[in-house]
């Protein structure tokens, strides 16, 4: 999946995060050699930023960055993603997840750009027996979840041309993710206790990056769910990753109540991605298939897979 030239220039915030490390290379690979109309080289058609380049809590800096690049698409990935840490830092989490999202959305709207804002399955309370659809009412259980739910309303109000994309249980890039942590612990011979009563949709950042490109390419606007196909408990996910890596470690199944965390999590936040399939024709692979591909990439020491045709 490529982004076509008409969506450039592209600005990305939080580009060195988990999702950014998959999306950034995809955007760079597809960048026009010369930026149409301006004669500017491709490097100027893409700006991948992170905290040290562009602090999104600084509204003036965000406005300046957008004025300078004049993007047609802004991917806003920067966020406070420490779910437990947000419980003890609610003001900081709100500043980054709510206020900054609004700055970015407003600046994008003023430039006439599409803003792609990321949200989460955690905005739901996890009590629905079936998959959540985009229109289901939010029921956030934690500070992080409340900030993300509020960010959605702010972005909708600030930017008529928006994509709000709710994803879930992201892994990828080889660090700071659940699968890499499970494999590391198993290799060190440390005990593995993983919960069976949290169910969701494991999502590979590489698949999600392609889904985002497909959504932008489709010209759709609005709110979408984008996550790995099927559902799994954290226990299922750990067992699948270990099997894929050929590690014979034993995983002890435990309940959420046995491993208390600061933030409450939804028990069963499975997202329906039917709207994404209908609008963009993009279907995520079954989650087990993506976990296996990711584990194989880790084993081969590859951080970013080759994309056919690039």
Ligand X SMILES: NC(=O)c1ccc[n+]([C@@H]2O[C@H](COP(=O)([O-])OP(=O)(O)OC[C@H]3O[C@@H](n4cnc5c(N)ncnc54)[C@H](OP(=O)(O)O)[C@@H]3O)[C@@H](O)[C@H]2O)c1
Catalytic residues: 144
CB nearer to ligand X: pick between 35 and 224:
224
Determine if 69 is a binding residue for ligand X (CB under 6 A).
no
75 sits in which H/E element: strand 73-76
Q: Which stretch binds ligand X (CB under 6 A): 1-9, 168-176, 216-224, 262-270?
A: 168-176
Question: Among residues 142, 167, 229, 233, which is the contact residue for ligand X, using CB under 6 A?
Answer: 167
Number of residues lying near ligand X (CB under 6 A) = 25
Q: Which stretch binds ligand X (CB under 6 A): 39-47, 127-135, 161-169, 234-242?
A: 161-169
Q: Quick check: 104 and 93 in contact, CB under 8 A?
A: no
> What is the length of the chain?
310
User: ω before 9 within 30° of 0 (cis)?
Assistant: yes
Give residue number: closest CB to ligand X.
17
Determine if 50 is a binding residue for ligand X (CB under 6 A).
yes
Q: How far apart are CA 20 and CA 2, in angstroms?
A: 16
CB nearer to ligand X: pick between 35 and 167:
167
Is beta strand 232-233 parallel, antiparallel or unpaired with respect to 199-200? antiparallel
Q: Quick check: 124 and 269 in contact, CB under 8 A?
A: yes
* Torsion angle, alpha carbons of 4, 9, 15, 20, to 10: -10
Question: Among residues 96, 195, 214, 215, which is the contact residue for ligand X, using CB under 6 A?
Answer: 96
Interaction with ligand X in 123-152: which residues (CB under 6 A)?
148
Determine if 77 is a binding residue for ligand X (CB under 6 A).
yes
Sign of the C-alpha dihedral, residues 123, 124, 130, 133? negative
Q: Which residues bind ligand X (CB under 6 A)?
A: 13-14, 16-20, 50-51, 54-57, 77-79, 81, 96, 118, 120, 148, 167-170
């Amino acid at each position: 999946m490529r982004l076509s030239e008409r969506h450039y220039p592209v600005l990305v915030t939080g580009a060195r995060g988990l999702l950014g490390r998959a999306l950034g290379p995809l955007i760079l690979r597809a960048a026009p050699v010369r930026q149409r109309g301006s004669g500017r080289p491709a490097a100027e058609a893409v700006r991948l930023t992170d905290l040290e380049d562009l602090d999104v809590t600084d509204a003036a800096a965000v406005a300046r960055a957008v004025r300078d690049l004049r993007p047609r698409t802004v991917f806003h990935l920067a966020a406070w993603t420490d779910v437990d840490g947000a419980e003890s830092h609610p003001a900081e989490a709100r500043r980054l997840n709510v206020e900054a999202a609004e700055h970015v959305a407003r600046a994008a709207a003023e430039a006439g750009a599409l803003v792609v804002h990321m949200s989460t399955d955690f905005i739901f309370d996890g009590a629905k027996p079936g998959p959540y659809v985009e229109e289901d009412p939010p029921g956030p259980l934690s500070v992080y979840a409340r900030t993300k739910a509020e960010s959605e309303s702010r972005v909708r109000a600030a930017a008529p041309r928006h994509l709000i994309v709710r994803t879930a249980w992201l892994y990828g890039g080889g660090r700071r993710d659940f699968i890499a942590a499970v494999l590391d612990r198993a290799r060190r011979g440390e005990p593995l206790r993983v919960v069976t009563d949290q169910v969701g949709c494991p999502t590979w950042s590489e698949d999600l990056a392609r889904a985002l490109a497909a959504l932008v390419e489709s010209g759709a606007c609005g709110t979408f769910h984008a996550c790995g196909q099927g559902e799994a408990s954290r226990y299922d996910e750990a067992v699948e990753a270990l099997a894929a890596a050929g590690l014979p470690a034993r995983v002890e199944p435990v309940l959420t109540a046995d491993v208390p965390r600061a933030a409450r999590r939804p028990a069963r936040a499975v997202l329906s991605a039917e709207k994404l399939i209908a609008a963009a024709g993009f279907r995520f692979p079954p989650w087990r298939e993506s976990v296996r591909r990711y584990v194989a990439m880790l084993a081969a020491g590859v951080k970013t897979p080759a994309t056919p045709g690039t």
